[in-house]
Structure 1
Amino acid sequence: MSPSTISRSFTDGVYCPLITPFKPDTEEVDYDALRAQVVRLASARMGIVVLGTNGEASHLSDTERAAVIRATREALDSNGFTQVPILAGTGTGSAKETIRLTIEARDAGADYVIVIAPGYFSFALGRDLPTLRKFFIQVLDASPLPVMIYNFPGAASGIDFDSDFLIELSEHQNCFGAKLTCASVGKGQRLSVHTQSAAYKARHPRPFFVLPGYSDILLPALISRASGCITGTGNVIPKTIVKLYDTAVSALATGNGEQLEAARELQDLVAEADWAIVKAGIGGTKYAMDTYVQEGLGGVPRTPLPHASAGIKTMLASGLKRALAYENSL
């Protein structure tokens, strides 16, 4: 199958899976806050991912999913970011519904989609790789947009793909990348070595992107040939993570020891903040945005996800202190 036609280029870099802000009184989507966050992140040169795990996509209706994509596209276009692509989550329980959501995402303005393993029936699928392969091939064959594989065992009932499986899927002409929220740098390196080879590039007209799902391993992942990362911590400290990426890429390209040491120090800072955000979860991320970035920007999670507890708030005040000071200095 030939690759899907694209209008906006996907590039190496750091991307943020945006939270979807809900109003405290009604839990309805706050589209004004969403647009403000989109522009804030794009201004920081952070790539845009919507309807992922952080975006509580499973809590949204189909109508809301499409509306989030449209609002994101409108915010980008009206603020001069017309060439910034949108990567949208469309994975769900069946291939048929995933394909339908992907078509609707395209119609709403998405440029690329990211698809997670169908984890609800993990108890039936087990580690049935041929069946899981069939799911992804069906989606890849039918998708009108390029597809990124989303490997997140925690959100897929433990389904965790190894590098052999991902390398096999990478050969499909409509597969353009993998997000590895399994924190495996080695897996990413093996996949990167395969997809960055001259032989692979000769078979594929577009690049393949390997992106860890955490920013606390960004520097080691870049050393291991990763393309950047997709990090929920970008909702809170986007400029710091972009600075880390830029410094690391420059250091690796030039072999400058001072720059590499600067990148390592920035990675120390980001690793501390990333771990605080991971422990805080979605409710804690939204609290951090409202408290330390802009009131009303984060909103609340939809029930049954919990709001930030007193203990989480105390932990965030300590865990984000150094990173926020640096972010505010940029």
Structure 2
Amino acid sequence: MSPARPFTNGVYCPLITPFKADDESVDFDALTAQVVRLAAARMGIVLLGTNGEASHLSDKERAAVIRASRDALDSKGFTHVPILAGTGTGSAKETVRLCHEARDAGADYVIVIPPGYFSFAIGRDLPSLKKFFLQVLDGSPLPVMIYNFPGAASGIDFNSDFLIELSEHQNCFGAKLTCASIGKTHRLCSHTQSEAYKSRHPLQYFVMPGYSDILLPALVSRASGCITGTGNVLPKTIVKLYDVATAALTAGASLEEARELQDIVAESDWAIVKAGIGGTKYAMDKYVQPGLGGVTRVPLPYADAGIESMLETGLQRGLAYENSL
């Protein structure tokens, strides 16, 4: 059975989780303000991912973040907006438990990263990793997106063959590729966007690059959009890039505007990637709204003077465009 809130093509943001400076507790006022702000900009909502510092949260806090976000969306008229929540952890058993808790808290879909802690033992052991994901796919009450991010999984990096194999599971509805591989994106799209695949799967499969600096070329390869941390700072700009690019690729509009927007987004996205989570929070507080980003939890560093200076330069064009919309 398909979820009540359909997941759709487009651009999604893995939200930061704002923490208060005095005790590092979750700042739910800042969180819900950000959720509503992004939904109003037509940016999809992803909670408890890498940017959300999910590994720094207790299970109780994870559920509270989902519940508060769902309540905020519903209260502001965004009842149709789905929530994709991160539930990956060290074992398949605990990941399945977190999938159930995410559903109970109000999530519609889950995204699962491979267990990186034991990468020294299983990083090249594809049968063990396949067993992990099949157990999660079988046990999750919500559709599962595979999260391929070598940098956050101790170097575990799935190739297109592995992802294509998992895509055949009826509870697997997509993959987030934070590996920046357009070739892998294209091969996975070629398989999952084919009419033969669609005839076997009632759920649409979504291929989502993890960076907005490759959104245009990924869309050319039939990707479904992207999931980008830069959306925390420049949501309207990235939504505009998606709109212009899809119009150029499907309705015969000019591709030049999409290229020009991609230039701006690629420059901004690289600045945010280099700044990291602490730098993203700093940028939100300085350029979007004071207090919206909050602090990081120790030991994750906040922005230093070098990061602040780099963002001042790297986000200049992006912020000017964002503020013009």
Superposition TM-score tier, normalisation by shorter sequence: over 0.9
Q: Which amino acid aligns with 1:322?
A: R
Equivalent residue, structure 1, for 2:82: 85
Superposed, which structure 2 residues align to 1:207-246 within 5 Å? 207-246=204-243
Equivalent residue, structure 1, for 2:15: 18
1:166-218 C-alpha deviation (Å, 9 max, x unpaired): 00000000000000000001101100010111111110011100000000000
> Is 2:97 the partner of 1:126?
no
1:239-265 C-alpha deviation (Å, 9 max, x unpaired): 000000000000001233xx3100000
Deviation at 1:5, TM superposition (A): 4.2
Q: Which amino acid aligns with 2:24?
A: E
Query: Among residues 296, 308, 325, which one is paired with 2:320 in the alignment?
Result: 325
Q: Which amino acid aligns with 2:37?
A: R
Q: Which amino acid aligns with 2:291?
A: G
Distance in 2 between residues matched to 1:315 and 1:131, nearest whole Å: 41
Query: Among residues 270, 274, 280, which one is paired with 2:275 in the alignment?
Result: 280
Equivalent residue, structure 1, for 2:27: 30
Query: Among residues 4, 9, 21, which one is paired with 1:7 in the alignment?
Result: 4
Distance in 1 between residues matched to 2:80 and 2:58, nearest whole Å: 28
Give aligned-pair identity as a percent: 81
1:303 is paired with a residue whose SS is: coil
> Is 2:199 the partner of 1:202?
yes
1:13-61 C-alpha deviation (Å, 9 max, x unpaired): 0000000000011110000000000000000000000000000000000
Q: Which amino acid aligns with 2:54?
A: A
2:129 is paired with a residue whose SS is: helix
Q: Which amino acid aligns with 1:32?
A: D
Superposed, which structure 2 residues align to 1:291-310 within 5 Å? 291-310=286-305
Distance in 1 between residues matched to 2:240 and 2:136, nearest whole Å: 35
Distance in 2 between residues matched to 1:56 and 1:75, nearest whole Å: 20
Distance in 1 between residues matched to 2:197 and 2:251, nearest whole Å: 26
Distance in 2 between residues matched to 1:284 and 1:119, nearest whole Å: 24
Query: Among residues 143, 154, 158, which one is paired with 1:157 in the alignment?
Result: 154
Equivalent residue, structure 2, for 1:39: 36
Deviation at 1:114, TM superposition (A): 0.1
Q: Which amino acid aligns with 2:126?
A: L
Deviation at 1:64, TM superposition (A): 0.2
Distance in 1 between residues matched to 2:58 and 2:123, nearest whole Å: 28
> Is 2:285 the partner of 1:290?
yes
Query: Among residues 289, 309, 312, which one is paired with 1:314 in the alignment?
Result: 309
Q: Which amino acid aligns with 2:293?
A: G
Equivalent residue, structure 2, for 1:109: 106
Contact 1:273 1:323 in 2 (8 A): yes
User: Which runs of 5 or more residues in structure 2 are unaligned?
Assistant: none
Equivalent residue, structure 2, for 1:167: 164
1:278-298 C-alpha deviation (Å, 9 max, x unpaired): 000000000000000000000
Q: TM-score by structure 2 length?
A: 0.99
Contact 2:90 2:117 in 1 (8 A): yes
Contact 1:18 1:51 in 2 (8 A): yes
Contact 1:160 1:182 in 2 (8 A): yes
Distance in 1 between residues matched to 2:278 and 2:170, nearest whole Å: 38
Q: Which amino acid aligns with 1:273?
A: S
Deviation at 1:126, TM superposition (A): 2.9
Q: Which amino acid aligns with 1:264?
A: R
> Is 2:292 the partner of 1:266?
no
Contact 1:5 1:145 in 2 (8 A): no
Q: Which amino acid aligns with 1:316?
A: L
CA RMSD of aligned residues (A): 0.6
1:57-104 C-alpha deviation (Å, 9 max, x unpaired): 000000000000001101100000001000000000000000000000
1:216 is paired with a residue whose SS is: helix
Distance in 2 between residues matched to 1:89 and 1:229, nearest whole Å: 16
Contact 2:123 2:155 in 1 (8 A): no
Distance in 2 between residues matched to 1:164 and 1:153, nearest whole Å: 16
Contact 1:17 1:48 in 2 (8 A): yes
